[in-house]
Chain A
Amino acid sequence: MPGNSLQDAVAAALNSSNQTDVIEGIKGAVISEIELLDPCAEITNTDYFNHSYAPDLVLSWAGDRQVREVYLRYNLRSAQAARDVDLLGGSAPVFFSLDSRHDDVSVAADFRGEFEAESGALVTNAPAIDGFTVEQDTPDTGSVSEPLLSLFRRNVVRGGRGLLISGTAQRLQATPPAGDVEADLAYLAGFEETITEIFRPEAATRLQRAADIVRAARTGDTRLFEQRADLDDNRRLIGGKLELDELRILLPYLLDRANALESDAFWRYIGGMISLKQLEQLAETITLEDLNRLVVANLGEWRAARALVSFSPEAVEQERPAPSWTVQAKMLAATAGAWRVSFTADKRKGGSRDDQMLVRWEDVWPNLSTSSLSSVDLQGMTRRVRVSAEDGSNVFADVDTISSTINDDFRVRSLTLHPTDEESSDLELNFKTMTVEGRNAILGDLAFAAFDVLGWRYPLSEDERAQILGAPVPAGPGIDVPEPPEAVQPPIPQLPRFDGSESGGE
């Protein structure tokens, strides 16, 4: 009775006397196995089977120009007789031995001898692949082996090289005992040794980067990530971007250990390899909770296009819910005090409402700085006035003058702030829609504008600010509170109802 392994599926297909059934059975089994190992691989099934020159399958990966051809071969002996590695190895393909009953012992040594050390080709067989995919009944120990073995599996078809047959990399299958740091470190050392041997350089580098991250998370030793980039160190930090699938495996492991990892440099390193869009995509498949350390360390690094302020659902049930960065409704969200602010890289996401009350100038100016305020859009009963800071004029003074000389009941509809960097556009704060928008805006700028300016009615406590924005003293565009203009008294924030009725202004 056939089992679930690739070997069983191939054996069943080989028993058929119909050529089409044999080919479809074998290719179907191999495709399923590759999908299981590397869910990110896009697999193209060619019209050929066991052809001398045409691959059976072609693998590709989104965002990677690399393609990898897969040649199915009956066994290693035939691959050797056909001199496949010599003939076709230039494109670094995978040679997949299907029926390996007579392979390993007698042929492997000869084959290995013929294999050029610099060849990027991978020669593997069904038992080896089965070894990585067949479900193993191992307990969840929290060991480093879990993320690393998962990454190993996902990379083996994409980046493996040399002769990978059953037995190779066997030691990676052994899960260290729970809580045994020494065993975990030994596993890490074995992992690093193995990936150098059986992965092409670019894949080995990716896996080494993962090993560096996992080691830091396991031991709390983040010195590697705190070295200065200009220092000539033997152990260089590996840069680049983490792929979505790597994040799916690594991020939960890191977040589980976030409380023990206080190094901002470490979290900035991780954040430097993630985009906001990736976080949103990740949230579709895994739960992302307690992102505080990761996001706070990257407030000055990550960029978004929009922040949407709404009442926190948690605040309805709890007086002051614990401040947190999470992903909610597929958007990065900060919940603190009375507010939830959702951030997105796509301005079209998140929707908006257009029913919020406009605010008095004296309610918001204490949270603005003269240097950052670019313009204010005032809405009166009979007129609408836009005051902008061209030619170095003082918006604060101009707004005050207009309010006191023109007989109208002016409210602030929107205002514009300069960003803290030169790459992003000005931030547009709209009190009607409770949104902040900017092109390529720094997340920290958006967060400060959202919590401090749009959220003026319910300011964050110092502790909440520290947990959400990372610093007890604000450092965003709404800082540097100026001296109050004459004739205007600093307001005492009142607590209006956000149900359409008004108590915050006249």
Chain B
Amino acid sequence: MPAEKSQETGREGVFRAKQYLESTTHLRLPWTAYDHESMCKRQRLDGSKKVYDLSGHFLGQRRHPLFVEAKKYSVVGGQGGMYTEYLADIYSVTARACQNDMDDEAEFMWVTWHPFSQNNWAKLTHHDYVRDAVKEHAQRLKLPESAGDVQIDDELCRLVSNRLWLLVLSDRQHELVLSPEELKLAMMHLKREGA
């Protein structure tokens, strides 16, 4: 697929994900990487920055920030490898926030239109899977080593696992949600805190 076309498909996927997630009335996602990249960035342990497709926060009591990665794929593609890299980055980003005592309890969501790594599907959000991903990307993330072994914080892996979402969407998803007019009415009555 040509790069330009691929970018447009990517942009379309980001907005589809945004529409679906906002239609749940539990989320507000005003920032996209295409339009306001600085609001979608998080800092890793080594000081480098990771950009996510969408960012915003949960409404209501939860109020946690949410960073979304949207994959508008019609095939498996390279999602398995990208997901592993994604988990390792989340570990690094969360570690950075905790290290600076600036943990805002940010959550992370991978939204895809095509499942991947199906042999491991049930484990993809498990803390062991996070640990394996971190180990695989330790060098890239410049994680500290001790006696030749990478130091991985198991508690942090559990924390990341708890803050992880994996969602599969369908092209027909929009047919199952409330219409825009119905949603506006619902939102008006729900009055979610933080909207």
Q: A residues bordering B, Cβ < 8 Å? A: 14, 17, 19, 22-23, 47-54, 74-75, 77-78, 81-83, 87-88, 90-91, 99
Query: Does B19 make an interface contact (CB < 8 A)?
Result: yes
| Interface assignment of B149: CB less than 8 Å from any CB of chain A | no
A-B pairs with beta carbons under 8 A, tally: 61
Query: Which of the residues B14, B31, B180 comes within 8 Å of A53, measured between beta carbons?
Result: B180
Contacts of A54 in B (CB 8 A): 184, 187, 195
Any A CB within 8 A of the CB of B30: yes
| B195 contacts A53, C-beta separation under 8 Å | no
**For residue B15, which residue of chain A has the nearest CB?**
A82
Task: Check if B169 is an interface residue, CB within 8 A of chain A.
Answer: no
Within 8 A of A (CB), among B145-195: 180-181, 183-184, 187, 195
Whether the Cβ atoms of A52 and B19 lie closer than 8 Å is yes
Count of residues in B whose CB is under 8 Å from the partner chain: 24
Mask of B64-85 contacts with A, CB within 8 angstroms, 1/0: 0000000000000000000000
* Residue B11, interface by CB 8 Å: yes
Q: How far is the CA of A50 from the CA of B27 in the complex (A)?
A: 12
CA distance A78 to B13 in the complex (A): 11
CB distance from A97 to the nearest CB of B (A): 11
Q: Per a CB cutoff under 8 Å, which of A50, A52, A81 touches B11?
A: A81
Q: Considering only CB atoms, which chain B residue lies closest to A82 in the complex?
A: B15
State which of A17, A78, A90 has its C-beta within 8 Å of the C-beta of B15: A78
- A82–B54 CA distance with the chains assembled, in angstroms: 14
Q: Which B residues between 8 and 67 are near A, CB-CB below 8 angstroms?
A: 8, 11-12, 14-15, 18-19, 22-23, 28, 30-32, 34-36, 38-39
- Min CB gap B144→A, angstroms: 29
Residues B77-121 near A (CB distance < 8 A): none
A78 and B180: CB pair below 8 A? no
Residues in chain B within 8 A of chain A (CB atoms) = 8, 11-12, 14-15, 18-19, 22-23, 28, 30-32, 34-36, 38-39, 180-181, 183-184, 187, 195
Could you tell me the distance between the alpha carbons of A22 and B18 in the complex, rounded to whole angstroms?
Answer: 20
B35 pairs with A74, CB closer than 8 A? yes
Cβ contact within 8 Å between A23 and B12: no
Residues of B within 8 A of A52 (CB): 15, 18-19, 22-23
List of 4 A-B pairs having minimum Cβ-Cβ separation, nearest first: A74-B35, A82-B15, A50-B30, A52-B19
Q: A49-B30, A52-B22, A82-B19 are in contact. Are A75 and B12 (CB under 8 A)?
A: no
Q: Which residue of B lies closest to A74 (CB)?
A: B35
Q: A residues within 8 A CB of B34?
A: 74, 77-78
